[in-house]
Amino acid sequence: MKRGFFCAFAALSMLASCNTNTEGEQPATEAQGEATEVRTVECVASGDVVYVDLDYIMASSKLFASEGRALEEKVQTFQQKMVTMQEGWAKKEQGLAAEYNKLQDDAAKLQEEYGKGLITTLNAQQKQEELQRKGESIQSRMTALQSSVQSESAALQTEEQQLAEEQMVVMNKFQDLTRRAFEQINADKRYKMVVNAVSVVDADPTLNISDIVLKVVDELYEADNK
């Protein structure tokens, strides 16, 4: 189910390179014999292209912990209820079908006994009327079952649609949070491109900025819910 929550952005285009800070503003070489100044790069990864694992971010986010996990449990409960109800319908239908088959066997046996003169006409008529009442009862219960199945199926469909809408809301929230997180992280245009890990065949792990994005996503989520 979790993947039902996870976005599949093929590529998220963000822009430009890492920031640099200097320890002071003096030139790299002030005079012959002086050491070159050390510059600190404030960037998790080197290079203009980095990647994120959106599945990991979603599964680890406070959004999922607060809303996604509860919804996941609701979906699982719904699926179990649906299976139980379907099994119950099938069991009832099979029971009625078995009763109907037995009724047909009894009718055939009655006809055979009457044909052989093993039962009186009066007894045959009485048993035939009894079989007819059983047949009407089976038909009545089958009609009631079909009506019940239709009604309960409609209720299940409504519940399923509601859950799908709730899932969409959570996904929309996640997409909005990640979009804003990327805008904030890349406000200085340090990255030229951010791609989804599902599109990455091989990469240096230092190019993975998922934890940075997750941190900002959580901060934005908490701010939205204050």
Is pTM, for the whole model, over 0.75?
Answer: no
Q: How many domains does the chain have?
A: 1
Rounded CA separation 177/172 (Å): 9
**45-62 average pLDDT score:** 88
What pLDDT is stored for residue 95 in this prediction? 97
Tokens of 172: 């929309």
Rounded CA separation 80/74 (Å): 10
Q: 153 vs 74, 97, 148, 157, 203, CA distance in Å?
A: 18, 21, 8, 6, 48
Rounded CA separation 134/5 (Å): 52
Rounded CA separation 150/41 (Å): 65
pLDDT digits (tens, 9 = 90+) for 154-207: 999 999 999 999 999 999 999 999 999 999 999 988 899 999 998 888 888 999
Q: 166 vs 68, 161, 162, 181, CA distance in Å?
A: 9, 9, 6, 22
pLDDT digits (tens, 9 = 90+) for 17-39: 333 343 334 434 333 343 333 33
pLDDT digits (tens, 9 = 90+) for 96-133: 999 999 999 999 999 999 999 999 999 999 999 999 99
Q: Which domain holds residue 128?
A: 2-224
